């Protein structure tokens, strides 16, 4: 499979972690859909998972009805972090956000079970500003972006454990994003088997909301 994966990467434009429907979309999203593989060290991945596990374990996986965006998940919004995790989140903030952007104070933690997945959606502008930055833990996955007006324009990002992705500007507003379910989890020809995946997602505050106003998203904004 690895061989055919490399072939797919050669025949479609993109880097090792991003592939798209053509050079135009890759150029268009070059600065607004970004993956940084290996953003976290193994120790940092463990720090986060160890801290999150007890909180997540208290919750049950939810299997919402057919039109919900996320299936097979549990989640929490976390505002108190250990010092080690705070240092990691600080690094996310300085890598993904502009100095002038204010972040939602509660970080969204989403735990997808192996069969869990996220359907295409655009985060609501009521609850989320111009930038979304997510850390992936445990399982690799594929995030697909599709232009909301021109579905032939798409981009896929391979999210390995320890990677950081950033969606901003056009990638955040003009494209839907989704996490592929296990049966559909391919990056080109390369099968990306899904197991349990935890994401830690930082979002900027909706535009027009000052830091004093809560503007907290409901689950899965």
Task: Give me the residues that bind ligand OGA (CB under 6 A), please.
Answer: 110, 118, 123, 134, 177, 179, 199, 201, 220
What is the smallest separation between the CB atom of 7 and ligand OGA, expressed in angstroms?
28
Name all contacts of 81-84 with Cβ < 8 Å and 24+ positions apart. Answer: 81/51, 81/107, 82/47, 82/51, 84/44, 84/47
Q: Is 123 among the residues that bind Mn ion (CB under 5 A)? A: yes
What is the smallest separation between the CB atom of 10 and ligand OGA, expressed in angstroms?
27
Nearer to ligand OGA, 179 or 205 (CB): 179
Nearer to ligand OGA, 21 or 163 (CB): 163
| Interacting partner of 110 out of ligand OGA, Mn ion, none (Cβ under 5 to 8 A depending on kind) | ligand OGA
Nearer to ligand OGA, 51 or 189 (CB): 51
| Interacting partner of 220 out of ligand OGA, Mn ion, none (Cβ under 5 to 8 A depending on kind) | ligand OGA
Distance of CA 66 to the CA centre of its chain: 22
Residues that bind Mn ion (CB under 5 A): 123
């Amino acid at each position: 499979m690895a061989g055919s994966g490399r072939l797919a990467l050669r025949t479609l434009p993109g880097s090792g972690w991003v592939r798209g429907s053509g050079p135009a979309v890759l150029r268009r999203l070059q600065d607004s859909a970004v993956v940084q593989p290996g953003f976290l060290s193994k120790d940092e991945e463990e720090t986060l998972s160890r801290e999150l596990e007890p909180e997540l374990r208290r919750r049950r996986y939810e299997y919402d009805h057919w039109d919900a965006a996320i299936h097979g998940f549990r989640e929490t919004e976390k505002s108190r972090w250990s010092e080690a995790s705070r240092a990691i989140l600080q690094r996310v903030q300085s890598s993904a956000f502009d100095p002038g952007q204010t972040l939602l104070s509660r970080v969204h933690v989403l735990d997808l079970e192996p069969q869990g997945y996220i359907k295409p959606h655009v985060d609501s502008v009521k609850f989320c500003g111009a930038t979304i930055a997510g850390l992936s833990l445990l399982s690799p996955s594929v995030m697909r972006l599709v232009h909301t007006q021109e579905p032939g324009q798409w981009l896929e990002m391979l999210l390995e454990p320890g990677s950081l992705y950033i969606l901003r500007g056009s990638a955040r507003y003009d494209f839907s994003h989704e996490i592929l379910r296990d049966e559909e989890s391919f990056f080109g020809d390369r099968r990306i088997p899904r197991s349990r995946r935890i994401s830690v997602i930082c979002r900027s505050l909706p535009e027009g909301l000052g830091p004093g106003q809560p503007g907290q998203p409901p689950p899965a904004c």
